[in-house]
């Protein structure tokens, strides 16, 4: 069996090639007349958190002439950890100081319709794994009327899930059949 090449993607940019441990989800974080924001799942890895989110809006999408809309459709996320540090989506200050935390938009898809509807799916990556203690995810979607919604993540569930994560490819066992 050929050797699997080392991963050349930095660990702060996206989840590792692993099966993450389940922390929580699905959870409705906020709902209004015009929008709903759902955390589909939070997965923990030894080096961070993967957060899958979905947002749906009614009458919120408006394409401006000559302008390509943001892939995140104006959704904003941040994560407050126990020591007071905050990771904001796509803010690299945690990377610059080398300690983290950092939250990146690791991919997703979005769309809008002529009827003003919006569908957004994002994969957020938080690096590194938060230290023990309270962890609060904050979300906002101003044009949909969602000012600030919070989801508190159970720190014990995060630690247990991280310990349960496992690599895709095991080197300690011969090839396993399904």
Domain count, the chain: 1
Let me know if residue 55 belongs to a domain: yes
Q: Does residue 82 surpass a pLDDT of 90?
A: yes
**DSSP-assigned beta bridge partners for residue 149:** 139
Let me know if residue 174 belongs to a domain: no
Let me know if residue 169 belongs to a domain: no
Indicate which CATH number applies to the domain containing 124: 2.60.40
Let me know if residue 108 belongs to a domain: yes
Within the chain, what is the greatest distance between any pair of CA atoms? 57
| Helices and strands (DSSP H and E) totals, the chain | 2, 12
Residue 78 belongs to what domain range? 18-62+71-163
**DSSP-assigned beta bridge partners for residue 137:** 79, 151
Let me know if residue 136 belongs to a domain: yes
Let me know if residue 168 belongs to a domain: no
**Residue pLDDT, tens place only, 150-174:** 999 999 999 999 999 999 987 765 5
Let me know if residue 1 belongs to a domain: no
Residue scoring higher pLDDT (81 or 60): 81
CA-CA distance, 94 to 178, in Å (whole number)?
Answer: 40
Of 166, 136, 148, 146, whose CA–CA distance to 42 is shortest? Answer: 136
Let me know if residue 82 belongs to a domain: yes
**Residue pLDDT, tens place only, 97-113:** 777 899 988 888 877 77
């Amino acid at each position: 069996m050929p050797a699997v090449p080392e991963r050349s993607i930095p660990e702060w940019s996206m989840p590792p090639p692993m099966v993450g441990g389940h922390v929580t989800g699905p959870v409705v974080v906020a709902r209004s007349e015009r929008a709903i924001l759902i955390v589909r799942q939070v997965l923990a890895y030894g080096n961070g958190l993967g957060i899958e989110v979905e947002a749906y809006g009614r009458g919120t999408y408006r394409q401006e002439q000559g302008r390509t809309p943001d892939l995140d459709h104006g959704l904003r996320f941040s994560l407050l950890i126990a020591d007071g540090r905050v990771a904001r989506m796509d803010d690299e200050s945690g990377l610059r100081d080398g300690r983290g935390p950092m939250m990146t938009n690791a991919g997703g898809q979005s769309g809008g319709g002529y009827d003003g509807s919006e569908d957004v799916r994002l994969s957020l990556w938080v690096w590194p794994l938060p230290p023990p203690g309270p962890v609060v995810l904050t979300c906002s979607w101003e044009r949909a009327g969602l000012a600030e919604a919070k989801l508190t993540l159970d720190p014990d569930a995060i630690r247990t899930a991280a310990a349960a994560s496992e690599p895709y490819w095991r080197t300690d066992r011969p090839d396993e059949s399904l």
